[in-house]
Structure 1
């Protein structure tokens, strides 16, 4: 029993000694007094006051010290130092030595080696090394100025957690967010909730992201988009290097060009802001809206280069395109939106309404003002096929030159080694005969893919045969190949890979 009492006494003495070690120490004051009537249990300190407690030093002009409560109120030009790391100035500070918590107000300014913060009211929890404010603050470091309504500053890792009306101002841009975590040592900002970054060059929006304000490198997710001039880039994930003007995007990519009324989509894209260029892969598709009827172009890779007035779209490998009245396929395609010229290379095939058109190279020219098809060139081995109920109308020659009216191929000139097989019908569409003729040049007028009139130049050789007089084997020109099964019938068909 004696040992137990002795242990308790030793414990109490140790605790008292430990508590005494945590007492606020008054190092100096010019004057002190006690006024029990007005401030019971307090000592009033005046002039050049120096106070210490557990690694902090406090200077002020006036203080009220509650010794029993281990509590002090400091007034007038208050300076609170935590070692060499934190210097705080204010007009008033309350400090509790037991909880090691301070509350300051009146032009509060706090500095460390990384930043300067100013606010009207500031809480300082020394145990958790946390500064927090609820009525607005401004934080400045070597690069940025950060303001917010409420926030926390974690001294251990130099992290600001700014909440509500957060604005980070950089010489090159302004970042606004609902919630931002900012590290003053690295200059890295982590964005949460609706956030925008606005500069002279572009606007960035996301609902989650990361921004390195020193390196100008960022990564945005959740409804991320970049807007600049008349373009908008959207994706599930966006990486952006502001110094290089370079962005890469992943998943559900949409690049909108409002000047050319066009859209690029795909699974991965890279965008070069200074060159005004982009390339897209993984189900890449370029969409051009022409008179409320969109043209969809797909290729393994789509490359868009140049300023809006001279934009060039290139698609490579297994290219297909679809429009309600026009579709086609080839190995590669080159479309100059400045002059309206589209060129198809390597085994190109074009379907214009009911007509199938092939050749070594196909060129289409758009009217840049109306976006309607204007003319057509098929160079080398030109071949047009149109399916009749009992056969195929065919036009063949070295080169073909065509003219469109309201996106309908209306006039065709075949130049060089021209040949034609035409199922001639009367007004009631009854078959009259089968025309088979060859000459050096033929001019046709068409409507809905059917020949209305024809004009043969330079000694035509041929005639119109009764159907019974022209054998089936003779009803197809050399090189005939009907490829209807390959024709895209909808915008979804452009992604179908045909067997080689």
Structure 2
């Protein structure tokens, strides 16, 4: 069939359409719309139609390729070289194709690209069903859309449900966020995702890092982390960093307000404040931390314990601590190491520029305060009970005390005075959270900007056609 005159070649192709307009495979019809050359051969007793530089159509699927083998008794087409497949829903490019027409199944190998709406997928071994619109990426997947890029070792993409499952070294990146994990389920229409195992999320917009065992997120801004959750937040002016560890973490975005809910073994550390509790609630609009169930909070040399503690922040500084119901505060003297103790039903501690300025405790206040002589040596202690006590501080040291009617006494210095304790005393410096020594970092190198292979010629031609004229 070589070197046919162009007119004779066109006549031949027209004759092919007249004589053999279609071949039926099960319920599918394969049409040869054009071909530079057609050969009918028999191999191992099986009839095969070989086509070169062909354009084929079956149903709503149109394919062009360098060559194709049409197995007439097998419901199978094998295509090779520079393949492009067009349907009403997607365009596919590949180096090799095995297409089983009765099952609408295509085995795509080589440089595989699937383009659907604003989504482009890249892989080198893809099984795709034209009927169910499900694609299986067995040896690597790269997904690109207007929101960013996703890569993984394997993936399954469900076009009709606009959902996908990715497994193995999953990475997601855009201009502002990066996330990674061992596997991912995502519904892109609802922006709902589940990220599993060894998760790491970095948000450059909010200077935040999130890690844990499992992450669930949706379009509302809700993010839930289960198992070994960790949140690091750097203040807008970069002067302070807050670290929160817990068993579970829930983050909610409400307009301009961020809500944080931590549950189970909650530990907080920042430059000016640290705490442990069973539950933590934080509201960014009010800058209030609420510590619930067995909380202990520390600020400089002060420890505060009680069933409920609230911490009012102001520009990364502690402005006020509140504790309710049988609360006790302990301050370690910076010179003598003695432990001053204050307890009562309600305690309010105010701070000025990071230093404690006033403590008010009421009702049923009890105070044990160790005194010093002019040489800053221990010199006895004062212990009393009063309906209300207000203590004023200067540069972190006690300056003045105002108490209501009180019942108390003064202790002369003696050997065991430093060990005297009020009822309910608790002092737990060993439980005080410390700044993490090792920063959380990604496990994987950055998502490559380059595609995983040299782009096929027909794909490049298609992209050039999509470029708008200036």
Q: Same fold (TM over 0.5)?
A: yes
Aligned equivalents of 2:292 and 2:9: distance in 1?
91
- Out of 60, 64, 69, the residue aligned to residue 13 of structure 2 is 60
- Out of 92, 99, 106, the residue aligned to residue 36 of structure 2 is 92
Work out whether residues 434 and 470 of structure 1, in 8 Å CA contact, stay in contact via their aligned partners in 2: no
User: Residues 417, 307 of structure 1: CA spacing in aligned structure 2 closer, same or farther, 3 A cutoff?
Assistant: same
1:424-475 CA-to-partner distances (Å, cap 9, x unmatched) read 235643223323344423123265xx633233144565565321399678x3
1:392 equivalent to 2:339? Answer yes
Query: Residue 289 of structure 1 corresponds to which residue in structure 2?
Result: 234
Question: What is the CA distance between 1:141 and its match in structure 2?
Answer: 2.5
Question: What TM-score does the superposition give when structure 2 sets the normalisation length?
Answer: 0.76
Work out whether residues 80 and 87 of structure 1, in 8 Å CA contact, stay in contact via their aligned partners in 2: yes
Question: What is the CA distance between 1:87 and its match in structure 2?
Answer: 0.9
Query: Residue 82 of structure 1 corresponds to which residue in structure 2?
Result: 23
Query: Residue 444 of structure 1 corresponds to which residue in structure 2?
Result: 392
Aligned equivalents of 2:7 and 2:435: distance in 1?
88
Work out whether residues 384 and 409 of structure 2, in 8 Å CA contact, stay in contact via their aligned partners in 1: yes
Aligned equivalents of 1:210 and 1:47: distance in 2?
44
Question: What is the CA distance between 1:220 and its match in structure 2?
Answer: 0.9
1:423-442 paired onto structure 2 within 5 Å: 423-426=370-373, 428-439=375-386, 440-442=388-390
User: Residues 83, 406 of structure 1: CA spacing in aligned structure 2 closer, same or farther, 3 A cutoff?
Assistant: same
Question: What TM-score does the superposition give when structure 1 sets the normalisation length?
Answer: 0.72
Secondary structure at 2:274 match in 1: strand
1:306 equivalent to 2:247? Answer no
Work out whether residues 78 and 90 of structure 1, in 8 Å CA contact, stay in contact via their aligned partners in 2: no
Runs of 4 or more consecutive aligned structure 1 residues displaced over 6 Å after TM superposition:
76-80
1:380 equivalent to 2:333? Answer no
Secondary structure at 2:89 match in 1: coil
Structure number with greater Rg is 1
Secondary structure at 1:60 match in 2: helix
Query: RCO (CA 8 Å, sep 6+): is it higher in 1 or 2?
Result: 2
Query: Residue 18 of structure 1 corresponds to which residue in structure 2?
Result: none
Aligned equivalents of 1:224 and 1:433: distance in 2?
64
- Out of 356, 363, 374, the residue aligned to residue 310 of structure 2 is 363
Work out whether residues 224 and 238 of structure 1, in 8 Å CA contact, stay in contact via their aligned partners in 2: yes
Name the count of aligned residue pairs: 420
Query: Residue 487 of structure 1 corresponds to which residue in structure 2?
Result: 432
1:81-120 paired onto structure 2 within 5 Å: 81-83=22-24, 85-99=29-43, 100=48, 102-105=50-53, 108-113=54-59, 115-119=61-65
**Unaligned regions of 5+ residues in structure 1, if any?**
1-23, 25-37, 50-58, 63-73, 494-500
Work out whether residues 273 and 318 of structure 2, in 8 Å CA contact, stay in contact via their aligned partners in 1: no
Question: What is the CA distance between 1:266 and its match in structure 2?
Answer: 1.3
1:154 equivalent to 2:94? Answer no
1:455 equivalent to 2:408? Answer no
User: Residues 48, 103 of structure 1: CA spacing in aligned structure 2 closer, same or farther, 3 A cutoff?
Assistant: closer
1:276-304 CA-to-partner distances (Å, cap 9, x unmatched) read 11211121222223446543323332111
1:160-309 paired onto structure 2 within 5 Å: 160-161=107-108, 163-164=110-111, 166-171=112-117, 173-179=118-124, 181=126, 182-191=128-137, 192-193=139-140, 195-199=142-146, 203-226=149-172, 230-271=176-217, 273-290=218-235, 291=238, 294-307=241-254, 309=256
Question: What is the CA distance between 1:398 and its match in structure 2?
Answer: 2.8
Aligned equivalents of 1:122 and 1:47: distance in 2?
17
Aligned equivalents of 1:82 and 1:205: distance in 2?
40
Question: What is the CA distance between 1:61 and its match in structure 2?
Answer: 4.7
Aligned equivalents of 1:154 and 1:335: distance in 2?
56
